[in-house]
Structures are given as structure tokens and as C-alpha cells.
């Protein structure tokens, strides 16, 4: 199966430190892959390289067969490579509907349109309604972000990402900071992502990782030390030593 996202031998050094050291991985359509590893393993740097926030020293990034290694971040987004962040980057004074209107207008190349006029655009408002309903946010659509719960803010970020119509979605700890009682909503939203969407998720919550991912990639010291089915990662000796440790000992055999 051809890959939607293909990373080939990606390398990045900061001074004498190799933070990304020959990383390769591929995501086909429909992938549900988790990227895990200890703090300092290079996970966020890798995502920054893939999305264009950093430029690699060597290697390549291909999206749907096209080399985007030197392509600006905004163009990668327009081409279908979309990222969510570990910490919310929402505007507290805008409503959920206004955020989604901005995303839709940006996707359509109409970012210069006055967002206050979006209610006069039936196709935009219909899509907003669908996204809010899909992410269980219909009741708070007209409330400012500062007034809604943090878990709802994370769901809104996911709705914004979907409004950009990604082919590949990179999720950086989608439930980070969400109270335990609200994480179920995040997991339900992740489970209902479009089947054809390729998803790469970074997370330290191993229970969430194993409920979400079919494949796991493990980074340690900038290198991939494991790629394979989620059911096999806890039995890999190198992964146990580098990262999972007591979690692997406590987890029941698959």
C-alpha cells in the first residue's frame, strides 16, 4: 500500500547533538500510529521537521508522493498535512463557530474575508454545524473559548483540524491537561475520525496509546528502536529497557 506520508532518513543536529538521527517511517491511508518514547527522544523535533517548523539537515518528507521537504508550513497544510499542538492555541475572545469559520475560509483561500460575514455564507455555516455536531460541541458553538471547559477546547482544536480537510493528521498529546472525567469525549472523537485519514499521535498516556493505535513507533535518542503492531511493543526488550519498563511488566499479555 502506498504511503500518504513518507519520512526517509530524516536527520537534525543542534550543535553536536543528533536530535533526529536517520528516522524513517511511513503512514498509509487509514493508519492509526502512535509515536512514543522517553522525554528527550526527539518526538517533537521530528513533528516540527515533518510540518516544516524546522528544516532537516538531511533526508526527505513526502506527502502523497510529493516531496515537501522544503515546502513552507502553510503550503503543507493546504496539501493535507495538519497538526494539533500539545497546548491549546485558540483565541479566548472568539467563539467556537468563529474559529471554525476561520479554518474553513483559510482552507478555501478566503482568509481575508471578514469572519463576521460568515453567517451569510450558507455552505460555511452548514459545514460548521456538521463539525460541531460531530465533535459534540453544538451547545457551545456561540460561546467564547474562554468560557468553555478545557476538554471542549481540545475537541474544538480537533474540529478545526478536520475543517482543514487533512489527509494526514499529527496529534500532539490530544488529551494533555484534560480532566480525567472528560478524556472519554476525546477518545470517542478519536475513534470516530474518518477511516481514510492517516493519523500519527504522540502521547505519554500508554493506556490511551494502546486503545488508539494499531501500530507503534518508538524513538529513543533520536533513533527508531521499534516499529510494529501495538500488541508486540511491550514484549520488545529494547523498548522495555528504553521506555516502558514497569508499565510493560504490569500490562497483561495481549
Please give the Cα distance from 40 to 236 (Å, whole number).
20
Please give the Cα distance from 41 to 60 (Å, whole number).
20
Average pLDDT over residues 105-115: 75
Average pLDDT over residues 24-38: 95
Domain of residue 199, CATH code = 3.40.50.300
Q: Which three cell numbers stand for residue 226?
A: 521499534
Classify residue 52: in a domain, yes or no.
Answer: yes
Q: Which three cell numbers stand for residue 184?
A: 472519554
The pLDDT value given to residue 237: 87
Higher pLDDT, 61 or 88: 61
The pLDDT value given to residue 254: 42
Classify residue 187: in a domain, yes or no.
Answer: yes
Span 116-139, pLDDT tens digits: 688 888 999 999 999 999 999 999
The pLDDT value given to residue 253: 45
- Paired strand residues for 82: 169
Please give the Cα distance from 44 to 204 (Å, whole number).
12
Show the domain range for 42.
3-90+166-250
- Confidence band of 152 (pLDDT split at 50, 70, 90): very high
> Does 249 score more than 70 pLDDT?
no
Half-sphere exposure of 171 (CA within 13 A, CB side): 32
- Confidence band of 241 (pLDDT split at 50, 70, 90): confident
The count of structural domains within the chain is 1
Span 182-215, pLDDT tens digits: 888 899 999 999 999 999 999 888 888 999 999 9
Instruction: Find, among 167, 173, 204, the residue nearest to 190 by Cα.
Output: 173
Classify residue 195: in a domain, yes or no.
Answer: yes
Mean pLDDT score of the chain: 89
Classify residue 108: in a domain, yes or no.
Answer: no
Classify residue 36: in a domain, yes or no.
Answer: yes
Classify residue 135: in a domain, yes or no.
Answer: no
The model carries a pTM of 0.89
Span 138-151, pLDDT tens digits: 999 999 999 999 99
> Does 156 score more than 80 pLDDT?
yes
Classify residue 211: in a domain, yes or no.
Answer: yes
Amino acid at each position: 500500500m502506498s504511503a500518504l506520508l513518507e519520512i526517509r532518513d530524516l536527520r537534525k543536529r543542534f550543535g553536536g547533538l543528533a536530535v533526529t538521527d536517520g528516522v524513517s517511517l511511513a503512514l498509509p491511508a487509514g493508519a492509526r500510529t502512535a509515536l512514543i518514547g522517553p522525554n528527550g527522544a526527539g518526538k517533537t523535533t521530528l513533528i516540527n521537521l515533518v510540518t516544516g517548523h524546522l528544516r532537516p539537515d538531511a533526508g526527505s518528507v513526502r506527502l502523497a508522493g510529493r516531496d515537501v521537504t522544503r515546502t513552507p508550513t502553510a503550503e503543507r497544510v493546504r496539501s493535507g498535512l495538519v497538526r494539533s499542538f500539545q497546548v491549546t492555541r485558540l483565541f479566548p475572545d472568539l467563539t467556537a463557530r468563529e474559529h471554525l469559520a476561520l479554518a474553513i475560509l483559510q482552507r478555501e483561500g478566503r482568509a481575508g474575508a471578514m469572519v463576521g460575514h460568515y453567517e451569510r455564507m450558507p455552505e460555511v455555516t452548514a459545514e460548521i454545524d456538521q463539525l460541531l455536531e460531530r465533535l459534540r460541541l453544538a451547545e457551545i458553538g456561540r460561546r467564547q473559548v474562554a468560557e468553555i471547559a478545557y476538554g471542549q477546547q481540545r475537541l474544538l482544536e480537533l474540529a478545526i483540524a478536520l475543517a482543514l480537510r487533512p489527509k494526514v493528521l499529527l496529534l500532539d498529546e490530544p488529551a494533555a491537561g484534560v480532566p480525567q472525567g472528560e478524556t472519554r469525549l476525546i477518545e470517542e472523537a478519536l475513534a470516530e475520525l474518518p477511516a481514510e485519514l492517516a493519523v500519527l499521535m504522540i502521547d505519554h498516556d500508554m493506556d490511551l496509546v494502546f486503545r488508539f493505535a494499531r501500530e507503534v513507533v518508538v524513538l529513543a535518542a533520536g533513533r527508531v528502536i521499534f516499529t510494529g503492531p501495538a500488541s508486540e511493543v511491550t514484549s520488545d526488550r529494547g523498548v522495555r529497557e528504553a521506555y516502558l519498563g514497569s508499565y510493560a511488566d504490569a500490562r497483561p499479555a495481549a
